[in-house]
Amino acid sequence: MDNDEESKAFELSLARQLVEHLEAGHGDQAAEVVRQLRIPYERELFEELGKLTRDLHEALNSFRGDSRLVELTRDEIPDAKERLNYVVTMTEQATHRTLNALDEGMPIAESLHARSLELTDTWNRFRQRELSVDEFREFARALDVFFAASGEETERLRSLMSEVMMAQDFQDLTGQIIRRVIRLVHEVEENLVGLIRLSSARMEPGKAAKQAASAKDAEPAGPQSHGPIVPNTRDTASNVVSGQDDVDDLLSSLGF
Amino acid sequence: MKILIVDDFSTMRRIIKNLLRELGFNNTMEADDGSTALPMLKNGGFDFLVTDWNMPNMEGIDLLRAVRADPALKTLPVLMVTAEAKRDQIVEAAQAGVNGYIVKPFTAETLKEKIDKIFERLEA
């Protein structure tokens, strides 16, 4: 209170001096009084500026400290593109594998169908006693050929269907890869939201940094599993097996 | 022979179920991750477990450990069918007591071979 009144009295006396100097035409002395009047306001301004500078410094530091975004941009995004390309390749291969089996199987099924229709026709004529002896001999030979071929052909159809079934394993493998990319997109999103909070007009560096940290905590607690190995990504940098033979060798080295 | 197939992808469960049927195993049941599989196993009656590794909630490796830790289940034969291909992981599964490890993508022949091998060992 006392301080306030004192400074008010001091400002008033300065103001009176200013008027006196101006009336007397003492420009230099008037300027000196104006400078003195400004001092307390300048101090406040500098303090505010200092606080802003500190906030900005802290914000930048906490952003720089969060190297996850750097890692995401440098390593994981290019890898994610590779992963999605690999998904395209795998689905393409699976589709060709399926269509190839169909291309081979369809004519077999059609031919089986046509030949059985033909034989049924002749059979009906035989039942109605319309077949000559020669025609019957011919029919018996045709049946022999058909029985032998149909066994082989239906077995081939069975194996083609099995091929179609195995080709569908792409859905599991690509699904795991896509889920991994979805997790990455989610993480990038969280980090960008943190970045936007950081740079918005109301700077709350502590809160933004905390937000980014909690986004990291929210990730499923670092699964031990990884999903399929994708070529041309950092997956291949770790020590991985190249197929079932590799697995068998490794397990037999462990006494399996 | 009653077999439990555990995989979070229903497409893969169907493929394994079909392959097992071709091999003559008609009595199969399915679960979509470790946490649904474990109560089914504890209810009893299963002779064989085929499980994936990478699954939500409870992963295959944790299911394997839980099975080995359960006095009633610890001798249950477990075959892992998974895309996990790191050497460390295969060693980890072996140490946790897996009976066989198949890496995806796999063939019908591989599945037959590994199942035969597991039963040969059990009978020996």
CATH number for the domain that contains residue B8? 3.40.50.2300
Low-confidence ranges of chain A (pLDDT < 50): 208, 212, 215-221
A172 CA: distance to closest CA in chain B (Å): 6
| Residues in A touching B82 (Cβ below 8 Å) | 225
Q: B70: which DSSP letter?
A: S
Residue A2's pLDDT is: 67
Please give the helix or strand (H or E) that residue A136 lies within, else none. helix A133-167
pLDDT > 80? residue B7: yes
Residue A100's pLDDT is: 97
- Asked if residue B105 has a cis previous peptide bond (ω within 30° of 0), the answer is yes
Domain that holds residue B47: 3-123
Q: A237: which DSSP letter?
A: G
Q: How far apart are CA B124 and CA B122, in angstroms?
A: 6
Chain A residues with CB-CB distance to B under 8 A?
A: 162, 165-166, 168-169, 171-173, 175-176, 220, 223-229, 238-241, 243-244, 247, 250-251, 254, 256
Residue A219's pLDDT is: 45
pLDDT > 70? residue B71: yes
Residue A221's pLDDT is: 45
Minimal Cβ distance to A256: which of B9, B54, B94: B94
Averaged confidence pLDDT in chain B: 96
pLDDT > 70? residue B96: yes
Angle between helices A170-199 and A27-65 (to 10 degrees): 160
Task: Answer whether B12 sits within 8 Å of A238, measured CB to CB.
Answer: no
CA B115 to chain centre: 10
Long-range CB contact pairs, A8-11, < 8 A, 24+: A11/A37
Q: How far apart are CA A47 and CA A32, in angstroms?
A: 23
Radius of gyration (C-alpha) of chain B in whole angstroms: 13
In this structure, what token pair is assigned to residue B69?
């830790």
Mean pLDDT confidence for B64-70: 98
Task: Answer whether B11 sits within 8 Å of A228, measured CB to CB.
Answer: no
Is residue A21 within 8 A of residue A29, CB to CB? The reply is yes
Q: Which of A160, A163, A178, A225 to mutate to test the interface with B (most CBs of B within 10 A)?
A: A225
Q: How far apart are CA A147 and CA A142, in angstroms?
A: 9
**Into how many domains does chain B fold?**
1
Task: Answer whether B61 sits within 8 Å of A224, measured CB to CB.
Answer: yes
Helix (H, G, I), strand (E, B) or coil at B54: coil
Residue A64's pLDDT is: 67
* Among chain A residues, CA nearest to B9: A172
Q: Which of A176, A178, A238, A249 to mutate to test the interface with B (most CBs of B within 10 A)?
A: A176
pLDDT > 60? residue B85: yes
